[in-house]
Amino acid sequence: MVKEIERVGIPVVHVCTVTPISMTVGANRIVPAIAIPHPLGDPALSHEEEKALRRRIVETALKALSTEVTDQTIFEVK
């Protein structure tokens, strides 16, 4: 799906936990997520902490979309 979106000319970032799969599939901008059943969350945290964590991941995704890349690139969440 990532490739089909990229193919029509829209930049796309893939947020996923198992980044080697994303690399194999051919995503160009990749952001590692937390866990398979909750990629953008962590039920062990309080609601506020969890939302802050989600925001950091989404901000990293936006940073990836704002960054020029020539090759497949993984953007680590800070």
By the criterion CB under 8 A, which residues form the site for another protein? 1-18, 20-22, 24-26, 28-29, 33, 35-41, 43, 50-51, 54-55, 57-59, 61-62, 65-71
| Residue 68 or 76 with smaller CB distance to another protein | 68
| CB of 44 vs another protein, minimal distance in Å | 10
| Residue 21 or 49 with smaller CB distance to another protein | 21
CA-CA distance, 26 to 15, in Å (whole number)?
13
End-to-end CA distance of the chain: 26
Determine the 3-state secondary structure of 53 from DSSP: helix
| Residue 49 or 67 with smaller CB distance to another protein | 67
32 close to 74: Cβ distance less than 8 angstroms: yes
| CB of 74 vs another protein, minimal distance in Å | 13
Q: Which of 77, 33, 35 is nearest to 43 (CA)?
A: 35
